[in-house]
Amino acid sequence: TGTELQRLFKISSSFSKVGDPRPGQPYKGGNFCAFLPHNSQGLKTAVLLKKAFERGLTFQIKSCEGEERVTWGLIPHKTSWAGGKARNGYPDSQYLQRVGTVL
Domains of the chain: 4-101 (3.30.390.130)
Q: Would you report the helix, strand and coil content of the chain in percent, each value rounded to 5?
A: 25, 35, 40
pLDDT per position as a tens digit, 31-72: 999 999 999 999 999 999 999 999 999 999 988 888 899 999
Total-model pTM: 0.84
pLDDT per position as a tens digit, 5-28: 899 999 999 998 887 777 888 999
Q: What single DSSP character describes residue 21?
A: S
Residues 6+ apart with CB under 8 A from 26: 13, 14, 15, 16, 68
Q: How far apart are CA 4 and CA 25, in angstroms?
A: 37
